[in-house]
DNA sequence: GCCTTTACGTCACTCTATGACGTAAGTGGC
DNA sequence: GCCACTTACGTCATAGAGTGACGTAAAGGC
């Protein structure tokens, strides 16, 4: 998306560690010991910086987990637009979401990240950045359709997001051998009852 | 529920303040200044105790908001059982939830509490105690019905809870003049599309 | 009066998060 | 090479949510 031709050499002191390094260390430690058991200071020490630096890069500890997934709402919005306008809203959301997860458009570490989220209830907060952004995308999409009022769009966004989350949590602690998109697809199959 | 005949005088030092007093002060301050803007120490000072005492009574700051609503999951479970077995699952949940909120079986301060939740995104966390307990009730109820597998029960619990939450949030910041049960009922009407 | 039980205060400490301030390390202009 | 400018980092101080340890206050039972 960024124009490489206009991408100039950055001015000022360069970052001493990349976001990838920080997140790789964090994900590894959290996978080993759990989210609460590893503090931001622990990660910072392992990477070779101060916790102040970490908090300057990430607004909260939880945002280290999300990382590139925070940008996924744009992919979701685009995927929603590509779905068939004739299908019911819920099926369009299902197609877009499942396709997005299945095709791994987001990030190679996404599965790893979702596993930690699934194991850590406090990360499943509905106010976490990506979930909020997903709901916004879903809300805007639904509201643009004819005959959809704001409450309906609101309910649509919430139920789609929570169904996806339910599927992912299910996948993590009940069926981790299969693909995550399959669990989400199965969850949507149960929703349309 | 407690047997008054066997309710003996409590041994040991009595509580210096009742839970009602603490929660009344907390709700008043939060309604005036907002949830983040009023610390637990502020509430403790106003009540006349130390913050240590508050944290001994309530596991987290958020639990002061929920208060008696934490016991509502039992009322929900009972209300679910009273619904017509012939109706679809989602309608039974709708009837039970809306009836519960409408008839004010929970607590006179419930509306006040929900307003604060609606105004404070971080309190809408899916891991907050009452929401978790509601989902458990809904999950157990759904799983006991014939032809419902565990994933379906899981998705059912999540979508019912989030639909109720969506309705309540909608009520708080879009339609606070009407009754909250009406907003929740409307939300469920949009869900069954 | 003494023992037991329960509630509270004080102190110390961890962890997340933020503001202030000075410094290190890069780019670009001359 | 020197100097301004920009950006990242470290250090320090601070606030707020929790938690464990320890001593004390206030009740009932004997």
Confirm if B89 and B148 have CB atoms less than 8 A apart: yes
Q: How confident is the model at residue B155 (pLDDT cuts 50, 70, 90)?
A: very high
- Average pLDDT (B118-142) is 91
Nearest CB partner across the interface for A122, out of B127, B174, B191: B127
SS3 B143: helix
pLDDT confidence of residue A4: 47
- Average pLDDT (B97-108) is 83
Q: Which two tokens stand for residue A5?
A: 């031709």
Q: What is d(CA B106, CA B120) in angstroms, rounded to the nearest whole number?
A: 21
pLDDT greater than 50 at residue B62: yes
Residues of chain A with pLDDT under 50: 1-5
- Average pLDDT (B99-122) is 87
Q: What is d(CA B188, CA A30) in angstroms, rounded to the nearest whole number?
A: 38
Q: How confident is the model at residue B129 (pLDDT cuts 50, 70, 90)?
A: confident
Nearest CB partner across the interface for A170, out of B88, B151, B156: B151
Q: What is d(CA B26, CA B108) in angstroms, rounded to the nearest whole number?
A: 16
Q: Would you tell me how many other CB atoms lie within 10 Å of the CB of residue A87?
A: 12
From chain A, the residues in CB contact with B165 under 8 A are 126, 158
Query: Residues of B48-81 as b/e, b for ≥16 C-beta within 10 angstroms?
Result: ebeeebbeeebeebbbbbbbbbeebbebbbebbe
pLDDT greater than 80 at residue B1: no
Q: How confident is the model at residue B10 (pLDDT cuts 50, 70, 90)?
A: confident
pLDDT confidence of residue A151: 95
Q: For chain B, give the mean pLDDT.
A: 92
Chain A and chain B share a number of CB contacts under 8 A equal to 94
Tell me which residue of A166, A158, A137 sits closest to B163, measured CA to CA.
Answer: A158
Kindly state the percentage of chain B with pLDDT values over 90.
76
pLDDT greater than 90 at residue B143: yes
Higher pLDDT, B107 or B89: B89
Q: How confident is the model at residue B25 (pLDDT cuts 50, 70, 90)?
A: very high
Q: How confident is the model at residue B111 (pLDDT cuts 50, 70, 90)?
A: confident
pLDDT confidence of residue A106: 64
**Best residue in B149, B153, B193 for a mutation probing chain A (most A CBs within 10 Å):** B193
Residues 57-76 of B with CB under 7 A from strand C: 57
């Amino acid at each position: 998306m960024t124009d490489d031709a206009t991408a100039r050499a950055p001015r000022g002191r360069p970052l001493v560690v990349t976001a990838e390094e920080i997140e790789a260390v964090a994900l590894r430690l959290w996978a080993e010991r759990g989210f609460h058991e590893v503090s931001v200071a622990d990660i910072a020490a392992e990477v070779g910086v101060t916790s102040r630096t970490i908090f300057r890069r990430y607004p909260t500890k939880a945002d280290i987990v999300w990382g590139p997934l925070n940008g996924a709402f744009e992919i979701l919005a685009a995927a929603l637009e590509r779905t068939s306008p004739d299908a019911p809203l819920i099926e369009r959301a299902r197609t877009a979401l499942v396709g997005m997860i299945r095709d791994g458009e987001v990030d190679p570490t996404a599965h790893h990240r979702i596993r930690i989220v699934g194991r850590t209830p406090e990360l499943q907060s509905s106010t976490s950045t990506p979930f909020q952004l997903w709901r916004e995308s879903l809300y805007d999409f639904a509201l643009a359709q004819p005959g959809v009022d704001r409450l309906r769009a609101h309910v649509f966004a919430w139920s789609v997001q929570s169904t996806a989350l339910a599927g992912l949590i299910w996948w993590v602690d009940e069926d981790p051998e299969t693909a995550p998109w399959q669990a989400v697809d199965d969850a949507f199959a149960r929703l349309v009852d």
